[in-house]
Chains A and B, each alone.
Chain A
Amino acid sequence: MNVKIENLTKVFPGRDRKSEGVTAVDEFTLDIPDGKLVCLLGPSGCGKSTLLYMISGLEHPTSGKIFFGEKDVTDIPPEKRGVGLVFQNYALYPHLTVRQIIKFPLENVKGEARLSKEDMEKRALEVAKLVQIDGLMDRKPGQMSGGQQQRVAIARALAKMPDVLLMDEPLSNLDARLRLHTREEIRRIQKETGITTIFVTHDQEEAMSISDMIVVMKDGILNQLGKPQEVYDDPVNLFVASFLGTPKINIFKGFVKNGGLYVGSDDKAEKILDVNGIDDRQVWIGIRPEGFEIAKDGKLTCSLKGVDVMGRDISVVCSHPADDEVIRAIISAENDVDRDAQTVRFNVKPHKTFIFDRETDERIRFS
């Protein structure tokens, strides 16, 4: 089922009458196509969980509308929306066994839609098999690892065959290895069931690796929406560019003058690219780590701090006066870097270089 969100706003009231409310989600409009896995991505406090809870119905929006398919569900209570929700800490009832937990939503159903006891058992076993916990049906949550609990939570959400599956940071309580494995699992389960899935995370790597579409949020506002690679290759502003990608994008102070892009701010500024169609102005220059090429006569000179070998690639760690942070350049291991040199010189790849307005942080495109 496709999910449509129109001008959705959520304002949490202040603690008392004097203090102002907090706008968690601001005029959010989004269209999620049927059967896709979509990530809501953003830093802590950006309103992504609030948005998810509004879609689930646990939070009521201040204004705006939510549609499931053609149906307006804005005022429909959560239990009638047909959503499954996986909570960040799983919310598994500690006194019930896995079998009882998975059957719990099924037993809530009344009337004709209620399954017979045998069918409930069958359905519970089906979803348990799907998430590969069918061997643990009689355990209680306390007797399982974090990864297994997480699967039970997914199984419970899937048992009632929801139209939309919502997940609130489902991997944040798992250790690094398990997280990697579980995200593949979530991808597989989503593919197998074809349920429209909305997934909240602050981990850009997680979002990039499993989603069909990512929604980058900041301060309750939608910044960019698109396929992971598109968003990475074509960020709309400085925030999106710096939020996505590991190692992080390198941000330099610079300016545009007479169709040339300069790094630095004074007479010593280095011209690194020819850019057309931009008026002279102060800018931020973002260069992805893979956007550097080592060259003897390179246009950008950095002081070399170290070289990390990572097998296939090498990571050149250096610094530049126009960037307060450490610069990381990732280049092919075939390059030969003189570790003892004081400086290292780069040329930059134009399609890995982004220019942002110094004031508004908005992307300025060049040709």
Chain B
Amino acid sequence: MSKKTLSGTNGVATNIRGWVYLLPALIFLIAFMVYPLIDVFIYSFEEGYNSASQSSFGVGLYNYQYVLRDPYFLKAVKNTFILVIITVPTSTILSLLIALGLNSIRALKNLFQTVFFLPYVTNTLAVGLVFMILFRKTPYSDGLVNALIGKFGISPVDFIDGPYWAKMLVLSIYVIWIVMPFKILILTSALASVPEVYYQSARIDGTSSWRMFWRITLPMISPMIVYLVITGFIGAFKAYSDAVAIFGVNLNAAGMNTIVGYVYDMLYGDGGGYPSYASSAAIILFAIVLTITVINLIVSRKATDIT
């Protein structure tokens, strides 16, 4: 072997070697990500595709027309959007407040960090079960939450099987609860990475803590906040297991289905067996997420320019 290839300065050899290193990952990505993605895209235009016979009636926009007129789908879209709009800002702001609190205490800091991180390592369904028990109203008991709000003179509500707003409230609280630990973790480390000297300098200059937060802390951690908001949007749009954990698998009956839930139902649910409809719904979800993410990126880039 020549000395050149050994040291890796030979362009072509390095290139080939690089691709060889990437190969295992690429094979899996292509087989399980790229190929299915293209496949789903194709199915979404194939009318009445049947995976057993690998046949379809024809090609066109019929699947999309069907899905977009399906009241279950529209309900799922509405639910998903409400969930996204409530949970993403709320969880981010709450996480930021908790992270700021964690960052400013000394005693018991590690204990609280662990406590706030616990939901992240707890099983989703187990948490869902606990939520159900907390919020459920049965003929025998109003449940803990109802007992609590009863103290303020509010009449008991069935949060699991009652009015729409109550169910949405529980789902939102649950989603916020589930996503916060990760956000707190990221924000705590982002806050800790702001050099202390900026705050010292600001103190010397008589900066109020309010102004320190808005003019120093927030701009310095804004890349992390942007990251959390974007991943938060994507995660919330893909919500499904959360709804199942609280309301069970028959989400259409509960009126709490989400877009991913609709896709699942179309494939495997009771009225399932419609891969074409599922594919179009999935592509619509993909389009929504892509649009929101692009808007997010544009807005955040403008926002960071101003600060």
State the A residues within 8 Å of B (CB). Answer: 56-58, 77-80, 83-85, 87, 89, 91, 93-96, 104-105, 107-109, 156, 160
Contact = CB atoms under 8 A, between A and B. Distances in A.
A137 B200 CA distance: 23
Contacts of A105: 205-207
Given A91-B195, A95-B219, A95-B307, A58 B207 contact: no
B204 A79 contact: yes
Given A58-B200, A87-B201, A108-B211, A95 B220 contact: yes
Contacts of A77: 203
Nearest to B198: A91
Interface in B288-307: 304, 307
10 contacts: A77-B203, A78-B204, A79-B204, A85-B204, A91-B200, A95-B219, A104-B205, A104-B207, A104-B215, A105-B205
B216 interface: yes
B155 interface: no
Interface of B: 195, 197-198, 200-208, 211, 215-216, 219-220, 304, 307
A162 to B, nearest CB: 9
Main secondary structure of the interface of B (DSSP, over half): helix
For the complex of A and B, the 4 pairs showing the least CB-CB separation, nearest first, are A79-B206, A105-B205, A91-B201, A91-B197
Nearest to A85: B204
Nearest to B222: A95
A108 B205 contact: yes
Contact of B203 (A78, A84, A89): A78
A156 B206 CA distance: 13
A91 B196 CA distance: 9
A91 B304 CA distance: 20
Contacts of A58: 200, 203-204
Contact of A108 (B198, B206, B307): B206
Contact of A93 (B198, B200, B203, B304): B198
Contacts of B206: 79-80, 105, 108-109
B140 to A, nearest CB: 54
A56 B204 contact: yes
A272 B304 CA distance: 72
Given A95-B220, A105-B206, A108-B205, 16 more contacts: A56-B204, A58-B203, A58-B204, A79-B204, A79-B205, A87-B201, A93-B215, A93-B216, A94-B220, A95-B219, A95-B307, A96-B215, A108-B206, A108-B207, A109-B206, A156-B205
